[in-house]
Amino acid sequence: MYTIYHNPRCGASREALKILHERGGEVRIVEYLQNCPTKVELRGLIEKLGIKAEDLVRKKEPVFKEKYEGKTLTSAQWITAMVNDPILIERPIIVRDGVAVIGRGEEEMEKILN
């Protein structure tokens, strides 16, 4: 089963969901703007992605520019920022069998689809 952290208003997220459906298999959809991951869940996703917390932050979002641009935060502080403002979470995140990818394009998704 795939889990996708999805924003239905995002074209890349909609495309990733379409690819998952085309490939078959069960898909659990988490609309993270309505059902934000907890700090513990975000830490787990970051670990599965193999990135730093800051690398999961969408830096083009207005809320980033208003509140966080130019600041140096710890991983814990970035995670808190994403819980407080979930629009900051990069999307879509796809998880399967303890592995996660940011599914921006089919090439990146291939890492988890096979």
Residues annotated as catalytic (active site), given as ranges = 10
Q: Kindly report each contact of residues 9-13 with a partner whose C-beta sits within 8 Å and lies 24 or more positions away, as own/partner.
A: 10/91, 10/92, 12/91, 12/92, 12/103, 12/104, 12/105, 13/91, 13/92, 13/103
Q: What six digits make up the tokens of 15? A: 């495309």
Q: For the chain, where are the alpha helices, taking DSSP H only?
A: 11-23, 39-49, 62-67, 75-84, 106-113
